[in-house]
């Protein structure tokens, strides 16, 4: 890619991030995944563990709920971005412009993922206030690095779904359908040992699984190097980006070929 | 009376056609049903991790009912709110007939979906997770489960009618569905909740009905759970009355002040 094109891509990426952040500030829809869901899911998951005399799983549930919120915010907003562009009649204009939609989607999704850090904070706050769980992160630096990597990775994973949303007007249904499988397969708030063995390969290819491992290890101060887990998250992020890139090219080709983007 | 039935069936037809616009068989079987099952499964796994097989069974019964309650709260709210977005609110005001039969009819497809959701959840997850529930005992509880559905639907109407002037109705309904998981004893026994939570739970649909359902599945007789069923019916009537009065009030004020566009 030429320097000028690279510069233009970064400019568009930055503009997309800014636009989405502004949209988030005034949007009422963000309240759900960003504020209400973290609080309610923390109350349900930690409350259930405390009832079952498993306070040792309280921190695990809180971290898992935080990741659920990050994934949710990313997935729902990625779907909403496509749905809104379609409703506003701007989807076909963006598809026809020289800038690939995936760059805009990446910027907007990244903005949403960064915003969703608030959700992680809220889950910890809810745990502290509602259940008096002492929240101490044993290794804050490892937690921070893990958090940044997992946010980027979840954004890349969301791009794969976001690309598919272009082809369907039922993005809302697709979003709802892919939500819970990721919670379950990634062991977010529930131990992976509950799942049958045949599901484990699916868990391994989901970055929230590794993010969950890293954040829990950093929060609880588990001994050992986290470098390998970091590398897996980075590797999966690259893999998601490659898949999203080729998928987007296919979707773009189909959309331009059939000319049915405006069908609503 | 005949006119009311005609309006009701008209509403049922509209409801069904409207439902099928979005919910093609592919979407229903490929997206909606898996989503329903996986949502229930997530909370059941959570309970199993916390309290083993006993709490798993407890959560399965709770979530088997709650999954339909969730659908009903959201869709009943949406039925009311869609009058605003579909520009049909003014016809309800202008029409000489009562709005109640047609609005009831418009809800029917969603009651069908709720029943399918609950049935599929029980039918798939009981054998899949090897939960010790005798199907006959579950069938005995069906009348109470239906009462719960109606009372949850009444609550959805209340949310829809109250939130009609604002744009957050669906959001409120969505989060009320999740909040009821905390207040109504879905994942953990209602008796284990703190006093303030129990106070709120006592005022909500589902709580008493679900206690009755659990008792019936465990072999209790209808005579022994009659007080719980009576409380659920009472709550159903109260919420229905509030929904009826509130929606009627919205129609009245809109007609009086000429503010259809502001609804």
Cβ distance B46 to A51 less than 8 Å, yes or no, reads no
The per-residue pLDDT of chain B, averaged, comes to 91
**CA A122/CA A259 separation, integer angstroms:** 43
DSSP A189: S
| B190 close to A (CB below 8 A) | no
Task: Flag whether pLDDT at B79 surpasses 80.
Answer: yes
* CA–CA dist A114, A13 (Å, integer): 14
> Which residues, 6 or more positions from B234, have their beta carbon under 8 angstroms from its beta carbon?
none
Count: domains in chain A: 1
pTM (2 decimals)? 0.89
Distance of CA A175 to the CA centre of its chain: 12
Tell me the pLDDT band of B214, cut-offs 50, 70 and 90: very high
| Residues ≥6 apart with Cβ < 8 Å to B148 | B65, B69, B205, B206, B209, B210, B213, B232
pLDDT of residue B202: 95
Within a domain: A20: no
Residue in A35, A37, A42, A44 to test binding to B, most B beta-carbons within 10 Å:
A44
Mean pLDDT of chain A: 86
Q: Is the pLDDT of residue B169 over 80?
A: yes
| C-alpha to C-alpha distance for B230 and B227, rounded to whole angstroms | 5
State mean pLDDT over A21-46: 83
Residue B31 DSSP symbol: I
User: Per mean pLDDT, which range of A142-151, B17-26, B202-211 is the poorest?
Assistant: B17-26
Residue A86's pLDDT is 77
Q: Is residue A168 part of a domain?
A: yes
Residues A64-89, buried b or exposed e (16+ Cβ, 10 A)? bbbbbbbbbbbbbbbbbbbbebbeee
B39/A190 Cβ within 8 A: no
Candidates A125, A133, A151, A134; CA nearest to A39 is: A125
How far is residue A197 CA from its own chain's centroid? 25
Query: Whole-angstrom Cα distance, residue A102 to residue A163?
Result: 7
Q: Where are the domains of chain B?
A: 2-262
Confidence band of B63 (pLDDT split at 50, 70, 90): very high
pLDDT of residue A153: 93
pLDDT at A264 over 60: no
pLDDT of residue A88: 77
Q: Are A113 and A152 in contact (CB under 8 A)?
A: yes
Q: Which of these, A263, A252, A76, A85, lies nearest to A169 by C-alpha position?
A: A263
**A-B C-beta contacts closer than 8 Å:** 98
Residues 6+ apart with CB under 8 A from B7: B97, B98, B101, B102, B105
Lowest mean pLDDT among A21-35, A130-144, A185-199, A205-219: A21-35
Whose CA is closest to B43, among B199, B232, B185? Answer: B185
Convert A113-136 to b/e letters by CB count within 10 Å (16 or more is b).
bbbbbbbbebbbebbeeebebeee
A179 contacts on B by Cβ (under 8 Å):
35
Mutate to test the interface with A, among B23, B48, B50 (most CBs of A within 10 A): B50
Question: Cβ B49–A190 below 8 Å, yes or no?
Answer: yes
H or E element: which one contains A152? Answer: helix A140-165
Token representation of residue A15 = 């503009």
Cβ within 8 Å of residue A221, ≥6 positions away: A138, A139
Tell me the CA distances in angstroms from A47 to A170, B42, B177, B189, one per residue in order: 34, 15, 17, 11
The whole-number pLDDT of residue A158 equals: 85
Q: What's the pLDDT score for residue B159?
A: 94
Does the pLDDT value for residue B164 go beyond 90? no
For A40, the domain range is 29-258
Q: How confident is the model at residue B263 (pLDDT cuts 50, 70, 90)?
A: low
Give the one of A32, A179, A184 whose C-beta lies nearest to B174's C-beta. Answer: A32
pLDDT category of residue B180 using cuts at 50, 70 and 90: very high
The distance of Cα A14 from the centroid of its chain, to the nearest Å, equals 19
Closest-CA distance, B5 to chain A, in angstroms, reads: 33
A230-242 pLDDT, tens digit each: 999 999 999 999 9
Residue with tokens 């509880």: B141
Task: Write the pLDDT tens digit of every residue in B124-163.
Answer: 999 999 999 999 999 999 999 999 999 999 999 999 999 8
**pLDDT (tens digit per residue) in B81-119:** 888 888 888 888 888 888 888 889 999 999 999 999 999
ipTM of the prediction: 0.88
Asked whether the beta carbons of B234 and B208 are under 8 A apart, the reply is: no
Name residue, tokens 């391994």: A204
């Amino acid at each position: 890619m030429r320097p000028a094109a690279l510069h233009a891509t970064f400019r568009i990426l930055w503009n997309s991030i800014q636009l989405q952040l502004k949209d988030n500030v005034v949007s009422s829809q963000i309240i759900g995944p960003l504020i209400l869901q973290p609080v309610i899911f923390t109350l349900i998951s930690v409350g259930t563990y405390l009832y079952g005399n498993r306070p040792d799983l309280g921190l695990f549930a809180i971290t898992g709920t935080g990741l659920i919120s990050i994934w949710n915010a990313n997935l729902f907003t990625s779907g909403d971005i496509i749905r809104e562009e379609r409703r506003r009649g701007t989807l076909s204009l963006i598809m026809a412009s020289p800038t690939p939609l995936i760059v805009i989607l990446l910027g907007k999704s990244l903005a949403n993922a960064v915003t969703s850090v608030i959700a992680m904070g809220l889950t910890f706050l809810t745990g502290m206030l509602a259940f008096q769980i002492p929240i101490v992160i044993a290794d804050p630096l490892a937690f921070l690095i893990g958090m940044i990597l997992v946010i980027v990775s979840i954004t890349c994973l969301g791009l794969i779904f976001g690309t598919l949303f272009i082809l369907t007007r039922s993005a809302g249904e697709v979003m709802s359908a892919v939500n819970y499988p990721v919670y379950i397969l990634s062991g977010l708030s529930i131990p992976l040992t509950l799942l049958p063995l045949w599901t484990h390969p699916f868990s391994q290819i989901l970055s929230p699984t590794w993010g969950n491992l890293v954040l829990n290890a950093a929060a609880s101060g588990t001994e050992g190097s986290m470098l390998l887990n970091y590398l897996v998250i980075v590797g999966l992020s690259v893999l998601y980006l490659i898949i999203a890139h080729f998928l987007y090219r296919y979707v773009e080709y189909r959309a331009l070929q059939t000319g049915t983007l405006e069908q609503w | 009376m005949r006119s009311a039935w005609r309006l009701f069936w008209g509403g049922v037809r509209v409801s069904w056609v409207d439902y099928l616009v979005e919910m093609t068989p592919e979407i229903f079987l490929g997206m909606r049903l898996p989503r329903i099952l996986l949502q229930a499964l997530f909370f059941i796994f959570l309970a199993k991790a916390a309290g083993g097989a006993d709490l798993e069974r407890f959560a399965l019964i709770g979530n088997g009912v709650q999954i339909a309650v969730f659908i009903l709260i959201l869709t009943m709210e949406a039925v009311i709110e869609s009058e605003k977005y579909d520009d049909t609110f003014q016809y309800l005001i202008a029409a000489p007939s009562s709005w109640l039969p047609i609005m009831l009819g418009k809800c029917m497809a969603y009651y069908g979906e709720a029943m399918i959701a609950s049935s599929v959840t029980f039918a798939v997850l009981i054998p899949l997770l090897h939960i010790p529930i005798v199907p006959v005992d579950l069938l005995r509880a069906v009348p109470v489960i239906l009462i719960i559905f109606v009372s949850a639907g009444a609550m959805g109407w209340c949310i829809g009618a109250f939130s009609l002037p604002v744009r957050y109705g669906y959001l409120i309904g969505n989060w009320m569905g999740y909040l009821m998981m905390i207040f109504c004893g879905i994942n953990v026994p209602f008796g284990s909740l703190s006093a303030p939570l129990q106070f709120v739970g006592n005022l909500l649909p589902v709580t008493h009905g679900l206690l009755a359902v659990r008792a019936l599945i465990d072999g209790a007789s209808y005579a022994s759970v009659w007080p719980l069923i009576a409380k659920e019916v009472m709550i159903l009537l109260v919420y229905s009355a509030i929904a009826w009065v509130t929606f009627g009030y919205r129609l009245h004020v809109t007609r009086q002040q000429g503010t259809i566009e502001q609804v």
